[in-house]
Structure 1
Amino acid sequence: MRRSSWILALLWAVVALPAWAATEIKFYYPVHLTGPLVKEIEAYVADFHKAHPGIRVEPVWGGNYWQNMQKTVAALQAGTPPDVAVHLAIDVVTLRDLDAVIPLDEFVQREGGDKFLADFFPGFVSDLKAEGRVWAIPFQRSTPILYYNKDLLRKAGLDPNKAPTTWDELLATAQKATVRDASGQATQWGLTIPDDPWLLMSFILQNGGRTHSADFKKVYLAEKPAVDALQFWADLANKHKVIPRHRTFPESVQDFAAGKTAMLIHSTGNLRFIRDSAKFEWGTAFLPKNKRQAVAIGGAGFFIFKKAPREKQEAAWQFTKFMTSPEIQARWNIGSGYIATRKSSFDLPLMKEYTAKLPQALVARDQLPLALAEMSTHDNQKVREIFRTHFQEVLDEKYTPEEGMKKAQAEMEKVLAPFQK
């Protein structure tokens, strides 16, 4: 009797083994504002575990985009990279140069190839491709949009339902909405923009400029449209004094929610924070145009890493597919503000109900036909840091916009020199 019980227990253990021996994958991801967005990701992971009991995902928050990339690079150098990670579209080149990730065409073909990709907005797919291959699947995508506080515009004697549509109108609105004390110091800003290169790129594009070459080996920041775009931004800060300098992404969105600035140019990825925090009537609009209407696409996609065993790559694909499904993308749009990357997400009842109540959430999607690729190069993080440094030095009036952009261009060319083949 004891022997037969032992045999039955052994057989039960063998049958149960697959449930215990789930494939485990490590997942790195970034969000700028912790708290609610981290909880959103963790909720999706929990739902994935229910749908795929044979796979266990270990989510690891990596900080903001740049910190998350640094974490991945450090893990690659240590020989312990993640199995799957969310990284910026502009990191495609760097991750390929590091031989860190695999093309996903085999998985895409399994799901229907072009038919599968056709449900994603085209701009979100094109900048995740290189040399005709797909390197990531769109997940956390965004464009900058204009947020405006209707109450503060009304107080300034402006039409609260009419956002500025041109650079001239943006300046005029910011001037009227800026409030100063007796000493001339601003107590309420007309406009706030985080001084980040991604946002300056939109100004360059609106001014008819270009940022980088299609082969990722050249930059064009010393050209007149780029210099003049930076001049306009610097004048907003230093000549007209209608924007503060050196506000970060988190600081600036908190300033807007607190009623410290009448307008804000910022990622749609923080729309949830404004929705939940602002105690006033607010609206969203396309970014104002100058020579043309344009905006730089931002955000990220799911990459699968080369060092992962095939079993883990397969599991990573199942997780990627789940996280980029129409249903999860609809939930992510509502839960964060990032644009749902799937067209069909906007046809779901959940999404229709949400956007009917909050039409501001549709502005970023509707702006997509005007969106162009963000600047991307080899050794992208080093190039981007040069851009950021000289951009901020111009705002501090250490250099003129022309001097700052020429210095940035020269330093970037040195970084890119090894890739000129």
Structure 2
Amino acid sequence: MKLNRSSRMAAVALAAGLLLTTAACSSDSSSGSGDAAAGVADGKPLDPNATVTISIDCAPGADQAAGKANYADDLALFKTKYPNVTINAKPYVGQCEVPAQQTAQYKAHDETGAFHAYFTDRDATLNSGDAQDITKYVNDETLPGFSSMLPSVKDNMTVDGKVYALPINYYTTGLVYNRDLFKQAGLDPDKPPTTWDELQAAAKKISALGNGITGYEDYSGGNTGGWHFTSELYSLGGKMVTADGKKAAFNSPEGKQVLKRLHDMRFTDQSIGATPVTQWADAFPPLATGKVGMFLGAPDVVKHLIEVLGADPKAWGLGPMPGATGPGNSLGGGDLYYIKKGQTPNQIKAEIAWINFQYQTPDSGQFNYARAKTLAGSSKDPVAIAIPQPYFWAAESPQIKAITESLKTNGNLPLSNYDPYIKNPTKSITEPPAAQQLYKILDTAMSAAMTDANANLDSVLATAESQANQILANQ
């Protein structure tokens, strides 16, 4: 297949009659296509001749030049297979999903036809009443590789055996670190810390470099603080909730250890900076400019640093999630698309076809590494290829085998930098029930640990436990 240069991608998409608009909304998707039959609600793929208009959110926006160009190209390529499908794609800038905005969207019921959510949003999404049961539409014909998807992924797609969502990303948390700062601090960049004691010691050495450099940073707001608390708790063997999911379990020795260590790093070691990191995007500029040595994150953090913030591709290493005595358990999560209720069968089939094409097909969409390599060679904008990321399928699946071969041919990043992460796989634990609500509560605990030198951490955690129990009792 001939690949389009980045300068032509947007034009190709527009010439194909596709719309990339900031105004796409649920009215596009729920009203149906006025000049096409509704279609049949079954497990057959979309008829290539069907005429249908759909809408989808979370398309790359103005801050993602490479991603935006690729997406436009993919829309055009999809049009060659489904010439009568029009996709209204709603772009985003910064973070695709902001919890407060999502809550308002669910309340107003104004989602796009296919709408983004995180694994943590399942309860809120289903409680909104807007998610369509797509079980009858999904199989190995409409979604090749469906039967080979990992159990941890399928668990987040389904409820009571019914399929409600399709995955587009799956991750396990690790340690993102600046290899250059490691070298300057006398640390081995090929051997990142694998325990929290080692991480704390490394952070002190990096902070000793001076010039406004700190060894480590962590979140304390915007639901991201509670998210990282959960990840760190899991890494020590702790639990967020009891086995029946009805009570909080984080007010434990492990939970207290998380907060105490962060408090010590901030106020005793001074290896965490004084400026709170309260929103998802706030963490990345200090990393990209070499002012922070280490941060917990999924591999796509490296992609963001390179492509969005222009960081040096060679500067970054990935290590496993630190634990108590070695690599610890890792928080697993990801992104999904739900399908909105009230659409015609053909709209649902078209959305499934697009999601499969763009996010789940080797050598296509996000896995089109050959195209990405061509773009990297011709574009002034940085393009990161071969970020190690857990995918949706079992290791022996045809999908994983095809993706692995493509990366060997087309990757442009120093894969050896990520060996500590790749060669030390950790157990993945899924996010807790009512995750976003619990994360919001625990933001306060994380903030206290890193902003209040005199914080009573036991009291803070006990208060969070009480609030969490009220939420869990109503699930």
TM-score (norm 2): 0.73
Any residues of structure 2 matched to 1:82-161 within 5 Å, and which?
82-109=112-139, 111=141, 116-161=145-190
One-letter amino acid of the counterpart of residue 74, structure 2 = Y
2:233–2:254 CA contact under 8 A, matched in 1? yes
Is the counterpart of residue 388 in structure 1 residue 443 in structure 2?
yes
Distance of aligned partners of 1:50 and 1:358 in 2 relative to their CA distance in 1, 3 Å threshold: farther
Moved more, 281-290 or 164-173: 281-290
**Which residue pairs with 1:282 in the alignment?**
316
**Which residue pairs with 1:190 in the alignment?**
215
- Take 1:72 and 1:309, find their aligned partners in 2: how far apart are those partners? 24
1:271–1:361 CA contact under 8 A, matched in 2? no
| 1:228 to partner: Cα distance | 1.7
Residue deviations 1:182-218, cap 9 Å, x none? xxxx721112233422222121011110113566544
- Take 2:254 and 2:467, find their aligned partners in 1: how far apart are those partners? 19
Is the counterpart of residue 399 in structure 1 residue 455 in structure 2?
yes
2:109–2:130 CA contact under 8 A, matched in 1? no
2:178–2:293 CA contact under 8 A, matched in 1? yes
**Which residue pairs with 2:284 in the alignment?**
253
One-letter amino acid of the counterpart of residue 443, structure 2 = R
| 1:412 to partner: Cα distance | 2.2
- Take 1:134 and 1:364, find their aligned partners in 2: how far apart are those partners? 32
Any residues of structure 2 matched to 1:9-408 within 5 Å, and which?
22-29=51-58, 34-36=63-65, 37-62=67-92, 64-67=95-98, 70-109=100-139, 111=141, 116-179=145-208, 187-195=212-220, 196=224, 197-213=226-242, 217-244=246-273, 245-247=275-277, 248-276=279-307, 277-279=310-312, 281-290=315-324, 293-323=328-358, 324-327=360-363, 328-331=365-368, 337=387, 339-342=390-393, 343=395, 344-345=399-400, 347-348=402-403, 349-355=405-411, 357-359=413-415, 360=417, 369-377=426-434, 380-397=435-452, 399-408=455-464
1:249–1:266 CA contact under 8 A, matched in 2? no
For 2:89, what is the secondary structure of its paired residue?
strand
Moved more, 50-59 or 337-346: 337-346
TM-score (norm 1): 0.81
Residue deviations 1:377-398, cap 9 Å, x none? 2xx5443322223321332226
- Take 1:371 and 1:60, find their aligned partners in 2: how far apart are those partners? 32
Moved more, 335-344 or 244-253: 335-344
| 1:177 to partner: Cα distance | 1.3
Q: Which runs of 4+ in 1 moved over 6 A?
A: 17-21, 30-33
- Take 2:321 and 2:88, find their aligned partners in 1: how far apart are those partners? 38
- Take 1:49 and 1:129, find their aligned partners in 2: how far apart are those partners? 30
- Take 1:43 and 1:407, find their aligned partners in 2: how far apart are those partners? 51
Distance of aligned partners of 1:228 and 1:79 in 2 relative to their CA distance in 1, 3 Å threshold: closer
- Take 1:224 and 1:30, find their aligned partners in 2: how far apart are those partners? 42
Residue deviations 1:35-93, cap 9 Å, x none? 244544444334323332222221113552542x5545444443433211121011112
2:445–2:461 CA contact under 8 A, matched in 1? yes
- Take 2:61 and 2:214, find their aligned partners in 1: how far apart are those partners? 23
2:120–2:436 CA contact under 8 A, matched in 1? no
2:204–2:269 CA contact under 8 A, matched in 1? yes
Residue deviations 1:117-146, cap 9 Å, x none? 343344333333322333222212223222
Unaligned runs of at least 5 residues, structure 1 = 1-16
Is the counterpart of residue 416 in structure 1 residue 475 in structure 2?
no
- Take 1:304 and 1:230, find their aligned partners in 2: how far apart are those partners? 39
RMSD, aligned CA:
3.3
- Take 1:331 and 1:361, find their aligned partners in 2: how far apart are those partners? 21
- Take 2:290 and 2:86, find their aligned partners in 1: how far apart are those partners? 43
2:139–2:147 CA contact under 8 A, matched in 1? no
1:271–1:336 CA contact under 8 A, matched in 2? no
| 1:300 to partner: Cα distance | 0.9
1:25–1:57 CA contact under 8 A, matched in 2? yes
Distance of aligned partners of 1:176 and 1:73 in 2 relative to their CA distance in 1, 3 Å threshold: closer
- Take 1:60 and 1:135, find their aligned partners in 2: how far apart are those partners? 21
2:217–2:294 CA contact under 8 A, matched in 1? yes
For 2:392, what is the secondary structure of its paired residue?
coil
| 1:367 to partner: Cα distance | 5.8
- Take 1:58 and 1:235, find their aligned partners in 2: how far apart are those partners? 50
| 1:295 to partner: Cα distance | 0.9
Return the structure number with greater helix share: 1
- Take 1:329 and 1:367, find their aligned partners in 2: how far apart are those partners? 25
- Take 1:160 and 1:25, find their aligned partners in 2: how far apart are those partners? 47
| 1:316 to partner: Cα distance | 1.5
| 1:101 to partner: Cα distance | 0.9
Distance of aligned partners of 1:167 and 1:384 in 2 relative to their CA distance in 1, 3 Å threshold: closer
Residue deviations 1:309-342, cap 9 Å, x none? 3332122111222222233342489569554434
- Take 1:41 and 1:367, find their aligned partners in 2: how far apart are those partners? 33
Residue deviations 1:271-294, cap 9 Å, x none? 223345333543211121115621
